[in-house]
Structure 1
Amino acid sequence: MGIDHVRIHPKFLHSNATSHKWALGAFAELLDNALDETCNGATYVHVDVLNNRKDNCKMLSIEDNGGGMNPDKLRKCMSLGFSMKSKIPNTIGQYGNGFKTSTMRLGADVIVFSRCRGTDGRSTTQSIGLLSYTFLMETGKEDTVVPMIDYEKQGEAWNKMFNSLKDQGTRIIIYNLWEDDQGAPELDFDTDQHDIQIRGVRRDEEKIEMAKSYLNSRHFLTYQHSLRNYASILYLRIPPGFQMILRGKEVEHHNIVNDMMQSKEITYRPTPDAGSKDPKSMVAVGTIGFVKDARHHTDVQGFNIYHKNRLIKPFLRVWNAAGSDGRGVIGVLEANFVEPAHDKQGFEHTAVLSRLEARLNFIQKNYWSSNCHLVGYAPRRQPKKSVSPMKEDPATRKSCSRSKPKAQPKERISYDGASVLQTTNNTDYRSPADATENVGATLSKTHARNHSYIFSINGSSQVEPVSNQITQNLIVKTEVVSRDAHEAYPCTTEMLLSLTEENNSLRESLEEVVQNLAFERDRNISHQNLLQVTQQKLEKYEVFVSEERRKRDEEEVRLRKRIKEASKTIEGLLHKIKMLENIGKTEI
């Protein structure tokens, strides 16, 4: 129509699909679309492998019996960035990009069949759409063109029909599947006839062998390469009556909590940000425990973090201890207040996510230190509990009617090789006798320690006590302290309470500082990761821009050459015209 519009080059389909670094993550996007159709009556999604009769290559089929798409919805589905689900609650898809990225991640071409029952007096429709990278490149298209055909039912007859679907639903066929760097198919259809697996770095043969012995750890050990095991934990809850069928066999839903022992419920309520829409919904409830194979001391650990029922981060490891600490601890958590990334394989790097990870780190450490001995590890020392205040009787409380004195700095005083702490303040003792009693008790303990020290050095039970000289010096020192003190400390209990309160306050301050340091460290790590990802994207964009610039330059050279050739052709034609004109004049 001559209207200016944004052009999307076919190569963008391929570069956009690379946002899915993991093939099983692309499958998850298609399963999400089927699960969202339960509100329209979907009862199953069937993932299968077909043979292409043209070249006998494998194709993928993903079919559900949901409400299907009418022609308008199918066009919007095939468009980039449009999502009708962003305004529908309790749906997983939000960005309008998952269908395109997931199908193009698995194969070069996809054809979609969809049948939609008519509503509000409209007729039943069925539509076919083709998103083909192969077609676009072979025909030299510079815009993304998506051929579509629509059918409308009139009475009992279709003008053009396809019978692959029932009354309603959608069927997706992905073909020309991608290959790895060695030219082999990326997907493995042969190892398990009821599974689709992937080859490459995510396939760890050692973990596969371990999974045969440690059945409660098999999802941790195999979810990275097995679609069946990954799909079984992909959702925290499956709608009643809905089935996921993979190559003719139902995928059994699995709750990681069933793999736990010594489990405990955990709850986390983050501090809501200023822009939070519903602070009451900012709560994460989950379960933590030891995997039942933890007694074998295998390095299995991490939290499965779900967002709106969908697994976003499988077995997130929040504690990377140098030794065996943390092993065997797994957890399940649903956190709807953190936003997933576009590929739904991670979360957006925000302060809320950093605080959540720091809190899970703290929870795992506490759980481990309290329970590791139950699975065969050496007991860890528990953190010291706060000192409980001493109880006072009414008589003591009467004698302590003054307000609590503040804790005073201490001064270390030496007594013949021993040392004690004395309060250096302006508070007078009640009487010289009380002062002598308080300080004398301290010095007596010091005397006893010196005596024991000499005993341990000589190694004999016949060591003579400290000499009378040291005893006399202690008494002299006691009298000096008593003379300087005018009044005894009001109450020993009050002093203990004050010191306990100060100690607790210092401990809390220290814990707060440690938590803040951990948060800043985690935020720094997340920023570094984000910077690294950004740099990688920038490098990709630079490569893309340089490639486009090179093509532009080549196109410019080609056009200049064609212009020169056209100019020469025009000049030749003009010369011939003049010659013909001259010949005509001569004949006349």
Structure 2
Amino acid sequence: MDAAVKQEISEAGELTMGTAPPKASVSNPDVIELSSSGSDDDSDDDSVLVKRSRDSNGVDGDSSKKQKFDVVLPLGFLDPLPPEEPVPMRETVTPPQPQGVASSCKQFWKAGDYEGAPGDCPTSSLSGMDHVRVHPKFLHSNATSHKWALGAFAELLDNSLDEICHGATYVNIDMLKNEKDGSRVLLVEDNGGGMDPDKMRQCMSLGYSAKSKLANTIGQYGNGFKTSTMRLGADVIVFSRCHGKDGKSPTQSIGMLSYTFLRSTGKEDIVVPMIDYEKVGSNWKKVLRSSPGDWNTNLDTIVQWSPYSDEDDLLQQFNYLKEQGTRILIYNLWEDDQGELELDFDTDPHDIQIRGVNRDEKKIQMAKQFPNSRHFLTYRHSLRSYSSILYLRLPHGFRIILRGKDVEHHNLVKDMMLTEKITYRPQPGAYGVPKESNMVAVVTIGFVKDAKDHIDIQGFNVYHKNRLIKVVFNSFNAFNVNWKCN
């Protein structure tokens, strides 16, 4: 706004608009006359030029009388407004839910009871939608649920034991050598039913479990494989061969979950390269899930970041599986603060032990002298000792082979004397127990046979679904608790 305009507005003082409609000036159609009134509304429009009338002496007229103003309007101000279009009423329509999809639950402990629509395929149904990204660091933080390394072994043993229903007769745990760099590799394999390409991807996915509705299986939450393997080493490669079912051809798959690969390449999502083969006649043919280029990229990544040098080297691993089974190799094993491997393969050639605070040389010497207390004294550092008491009963004909030698199953009740069984039934309604619960605990109590020698052992074992889930030992007496539902 120029100085002349500001001066005229300044001289005009406060301008108030009356309610009478303005009249256009005859001499200037773009100038209208306004009558002042006692309104307190201010005009803030800088585009209006106000000319206030004065008397012949240049003095303002009587403020009690109506005063006339000439207002210069901007171009187009008096043009008629376009007619308003009516706004249509918007109807509120609740979109129908797909069949088989439950409405979202707002209760945290029930919100996980969601299974998705039948035949749901995330890769196609979520096209164009935002999705949750999982950073590779999650693999490490997720594995911290295993503070004790031998507890990670238990998860892998559980998976093999669950394969009994698919024909598994053994699980073999051993130490191999990485031919690329000479480092040590941990092997866990079984001759169970194996995994087809879809099941392999489910195994590598976070939170998926096909066992949640199967009775007498231990794995329920689809997290054990990831937490256990990542707790023992930075990388894992899986070979699995599966019999064809329902007229389908046999398949074999290779999948790699490598923390080293993800960190070294700066990935911001967890990328799991996989390749699949299908048996056609007597030959194994590549299975292309997308394009040949993608298949080759997955192969190149696996070869670069695994202990194997080429595709032929990878395929030779299936010779160990024969007709069916799963072969898991964990490499880049974790080290302790002194730069040594956390797992000790050298102290006992038929055992895998752990170093550090779990190893007590005094207890190891006592175990040699007092055989009835041996497992109480050594299970914390010895996988052979721990796996022998891991299951209350080992299925007939099933073998746990540790570094070429069978693990002898041991029932801790045999280490006790003056035993007595007590059936404990939790109080209905207390501690979250349903009022009509049939839950009971069969408790075997007694004294350790070596108590007469004042061996300092006391505590209890808790078994659930045949699996040892809690061990607490301190002083003389011992308890064996088996939770079950009648």
Which range, TM-score by smaller chain? 0.5 to 0.7
- The 5-angstrom pairing of residues 271-290 of structure 1 reads 271-273=427-429, 279=436, 281-290=438-447
Matched, 1:300 2:457: yes
Task: Give the C-alpha shift of residue 55 in structure 1.
Answer: 1.0
1:333 aligns with 2:333: no
Partner of 2:324 in structure 1? 168
Q: 2:237–2:330: 8 Å Cα contact kept in structure 1? A: yes
Corresponding residue number in structure 1 for 2:299: none
Distance in 2 of aligned mates of 1:211 and 1:28: 23
Counterpart Cα distance in 1 of 2:320 and 2:455: 48
Give the distance between the partners of 1:335 and 1:238, measured in 2 at CA. 17
Distance in 2 between residues matched to 1:152 and 1:204, nearest whole Å: 50
Q: Which of 276, 284, 294 does residue 150 from structure 1 map onto?
A: 276
2:383 is equivalent to residue 257 of structure 1: no
What is the alpha-carbon distance in structure 1 between the residues aligned to residue 381 and residue 463 of structure 2? 20
1:220–1:315 contact (8 Å) kept in structure 2: no
1:66 aligns with 2:182: no
- Give, as a single letter, the amino acid of the residue that structure 2 aligns with 1:128: I
Q: Which amino acid in the other structure matches residue 134 of structure 2?
A: I
2:260 partner amino acid: T
What corresponds to 1:291 in structure 2? 448
Does 2:252 match 1:126? yes
Measured in 2, the distance between the counterparts of 1:151 and 1:281 equals 48
CA apart distance, 1:287? 1.2
Residue type of the alignment partner of 1:330? A
1:315 pairs with 2:315: no
1:51 correspondence with 2:199: no
Aligned: 1:224 with 2:372 = no
Residue 166 of structure 1 deviates from its aligned partner by 1.2
> How big is each residue's C-alpha offset from its partner over 1:43-98, in whole Å with a ceiling of 9 and x where there is no partner?
00000000111111110000000111111111011000111111111000111110
Note the alpha carbon deviations across 1:8-61, whole angstroms, 9 max, x for none: 111111111111101000000000000011111110000000011111111000
Q: 1:278 to 1:111 in 2, by over 3 A?
A: farther
Pairing 1:205-244 to 2, within 5 Å after superposition: 205-244=361-400
The one-letter amino acid paired with 1:104 is M
Alignment of 1:155-554 (within 5 A): 155-159=281-285, 161=315, 162-273=318-429, 279=436, 281-315=438-472, 327-336=475-484
| Separation in 2, partners of 1:95, 1:278 | 26
- Partners of 2:449 and 2:161 in 1: how far apart? 31
Deviates more, 1:161-170 or 1:19-28: 161-170
Could you tell me which residue of structure 1 aligns to residue 226 of structure 2?
100
Distance in 2 between the 1:150 and 1:249 partners? 33
Q: Unpaired segments of 5 or more residues in structure 2?
A: 1-126, 287-314
Equivalent position to 1:137, from 230, 243, 263: 263
Distance in 2 (alpha carbons) for counterparts of 1:278 and 1:74: 41
* Kept in 2: contact 1:45–1:245 (CA 8 A): yes
What is the aligned partner in structure 2 of residue 556 from structure 1?
A: none
In structure 2, relative to structure 1, the CA distance for the partners of 1:52 and 1:6 (3 Å cut) is same
More helix by share: 1
In structure 1, distance between residues paired with 2:252 and 2:473? 43
- 1:511 alignment partner in structure 2: none
Give, in angstroms, the shift of residue 279 of structure 1.
4.3
1:103/1:278 CA distance change after superposition, 3 Å: farther
Give the conservation status (yes or no) of the 8 Å contact 1:202–1:224.
yes
Secondary structure in 2 matching 1:87: coil
8 Å CA contact retained: 1:268, 1:284: yes
**Partner Cα distance (1:279, 1:331) in 2:** 27
Contact 1:130 1:148 in 2 (8 A): yes
**Which whole-Å CA distance do the structure 2 matches of 1:299 and 1:75 have between them?**
48
Task: Give the match's secondary structure for 1:29.
Answer: helix
Distance 1:120 1:184, change over 3 A: same
Equivalents in 1 of 2:268, 2:256: separation in Å? 17
Q: 1:118 to 1:272 in 2, by over 3 A?
A: farther
Per-residue Cα deviation, 1:119-153 (whole angstroms, up to 9, x for no partner): 11111111100000001111111100000001111
Relative contact order (alpha carbons < 8 A, sep ≥ 6): 1 or 2 greater? 2
Deviation at 1:249, TM superposition (A): 0.3
CA deviation vs aligned residue, 1:225-258 (integer Å, no higher than 9, x gap): 0000000000001111100000000000000111
Q: Select the residue among 35, 41, 45 that pairs with 2:161.
A: 35
- 1:319-343 Cα distance to aligned partner (Å, 9 max, x none): xxxxxxxx42111111147xxxxxx
Does the residue aligned with 2:328 lie in a helix, a strand or coil?
strand
Match of 2:143 in 1: 17
Q: Partner of 2:320: helix, strand, or coil?
A: coil
The one-letter code of the counterpart of 2:397 is G
Larger strand percent: 2
> Counterpart in 1 of 2:111?
none
Describe the SS at the equivalent of 2:356.
Answer: coil
The aligned counterpart of 2:83 is none
Please give the alpha-carbon distance, in whole angstroms, between the structure 2 residues aligned to 1:45 and 1:280: 36
Instruction: Verify: 1:81 aligned to 2:207, yes or no.
Output: yes
The count of residues paired between Structure 1 and Structure 2 equals 328
Judge conservation of contact 1:29–1:98 (CA < 8 Å) in 2.
Answer: yes
Q: Report deviation, 1:306.
A: 0.4
Aligned-pair identity in percent equals: 72
**Deviations for 1:468-495, whole angstroms, at most 9, x for unmatched residues?**
xxxxxxxxxxxxxxxxxxxxxxxxxxxx
Secondary structure of the residue aligned to 2:255 is: strand
Give the TM-score of the pair, scaled to structure 1. Answer: 0.54
Q: Which amino acid aligns with 1:303?
A: F
Measured against aligned partners, the alpha-carbon deviations of 1:408-427 in whole angstroms (never above 9, x if no partner) come to: xxxxxxxxxxxxxxxxxxxx
CA RMSD of aligned residues (A): 1.6
- Match of 2:393, SS? coil
